[in-house]
């Protein structure tokens, strides 16, 4: 018995649109396979490339009828989604020529992992590119604006400016957490509030701006969001919170309460080698006080200490 080849019934540049149409077909008992035009690409230049939906040959005619019948409903859902993306564009101050790049930048790996079809790409490759673009632009600014600083001073300033804490602060100000495309599991565990996740997404957005408008657009975008902290660093007045030593502050707070010294331990590592995320926990004796994430063990401990200070302040 021979099996007929699947028939492509729908093509789009948007993984979200493909999901909407696939869901429509599934509610009518038609299973659709999702594939992309460039499956081996590290990241698709010009957006998500083509996403295709294919069904069994004997169901193709019915699938096409359903797609046409419910096209207005699909368009209405997509309009709502695009309006949401428009609000992101307004918040970050950049209008994309290719909105698919913004969709890609907002797609967390949990969303892609829960899609068994393989038709959804996460933003990790964009994070990698955005980290490089952001680091280059900030280094260029420091080189030009702080010519008398030595290499160590510039390196320290750059590290603070592009730290998870700094990027998460900007991403939270922009409201990126509200617009992330998350999987159900990450949604339930409070992914929209995770600082490391918001920081990574901001880097992905930087890469999306770069791919959409080139280095000049990325440079203007970074200038908009980093001018104030850059000025503060240059003038010797670091932006609020950038250099707070939460570990020292926690130690003082615990000693004042006679809780002894804080104990830190590494409880998790995740992400690819070039984008490792460390999770640390701090405790008073056997009592956990806080957890934190960061791109280094030191940064994750600082975040854990900050959360512990907040918990102690609440009583």
* Domain map (residue ranges) of the chain: 7-92, 124-234, 246-313
59, 131, 281, 299: which is the annotated catalytic residue? 131
Look up residue 222 and give its two tokens.
Answer: 């970074």
In angstroms, the CA 20 to CA 15 distance is 9
The closest of 109, 128, 131, 130 to 120, measured between CA atoms, is: 109
- pLDDT for 244: 62
| CATH number among 3.10.20.30, 3.40.190.10, 1.10.1060.10, 1.10.1520.10, domain 124-234 | 1.10.1520.10
Residue 311 gets the label, from left (phi > 0), alpha (psi -120 to 50) or beta, of alpha
| pTM passes above 0.95 | no
203 annotated active-site? yes
Which pLDDT score is estimated for 11?
Answer: 83
User: Matching CATH topology for 7-92 and 124-234?
Assistant: no
Three-state secondary-structure class, residue 84: helix
Choice among 186, 203, 212, 281 that is catalytic: 203
The pLDDT of residue 21 is 83
Q: Which two tokens stand for residue 236?
A: 């010797």
Token pair of 218, please? 């990325």
Distance (Å, rounded) from C-alpha 227 to C-alpha 234? Answer: 10
Distance CA 261, CA 258 (A): 9
pLDDT of the residue at 192: 86
The CATH number for 7-92, chosen from 3.60.15.10, 2.40.30.30, 3.30.70.1530, 3.40.718.10, is: 3.30.70.1530
Separation CA 38–CA 8 (nearest Å): 16
CA angle 225, 15, 100 (to 5 degrees): 35
The answer to whether domain 246-313 has CATH 3.30.160.20 is yes
19 has catalytic annotation: no
Residue 299: predicted pLDDT: 82
Low-confidence ranges of the chain (pLDDT < 50): 1, 38-48, 238-242
Does residue 161 contact residue 237 with C-beta atoms inside 8 Å?
no
Instruction: Give the model's pLDDT for residue 45.
Output: 38
pLDDT value of residue 78: 58
């Amino acid at each position: 018995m021979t099996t007929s080849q699947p028939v492509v019934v729908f093509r789009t540049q948007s993984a979200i649109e493909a999901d909407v149409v696939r869901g429509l077909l599934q509610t009518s008992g038609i299973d659709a396979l999702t594939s992309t035009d460039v499956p081996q690409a590290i990241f698709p230049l010009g957006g998500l490339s083509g996403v295709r939906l294919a069904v069994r040959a004997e169901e193709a005619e019915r699938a096409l009828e359903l797609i046409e019948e419910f096209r207005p409903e699909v368009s209405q859902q997509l309009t709502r989604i695009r309006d949401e993306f428009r609000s992101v564009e307004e918040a970050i101050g950049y209008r994309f020529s290719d909105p698919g790049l913004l969709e890609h930048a907002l797609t967390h790996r949990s969303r892609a992992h829960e899609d068994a079809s393989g038709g959804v790409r996460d933003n990790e490759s964009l994070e990698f590119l955005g980290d490089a673009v952001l680091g280059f632009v900030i280094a260029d600014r420091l080189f030009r604006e702080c010519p008398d600083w030595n290499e160590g001073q510039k390196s320290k300033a750059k590290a603070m400016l592009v730290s998870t804490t700094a990027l998460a602060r900007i991403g939270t100000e922009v409201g990126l957490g509200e617009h992330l495309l998350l999987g159900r599991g990450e949604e339930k565990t409070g992914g929209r509030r995770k600082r490391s996740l918001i920081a990574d997404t901001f880097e992905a957005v930087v890469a999306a701006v770069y791919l959409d408008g080139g280095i000049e657009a990325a440079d203007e975008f970074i200038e908009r969001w980093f001018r104030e902290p850059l000025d503060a660093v240059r003038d010797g007045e670091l932006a609020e919170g950038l250099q707070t030593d939460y570990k020292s502050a926690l130690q003082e707070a615990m000693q004042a309460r006679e809780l002894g010294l804080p104990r830190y331990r590494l409880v998790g590592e995740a992400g690819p080698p070039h984008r490792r995320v460390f999770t640390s926990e701090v405790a008073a004796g056997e009592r956990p006080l806080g957890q934190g994430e960061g791109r280094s063990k030191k940064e994750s401990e600082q975040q854990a200490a900050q959360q512990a200070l907040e918990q102690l302040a609440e009583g």
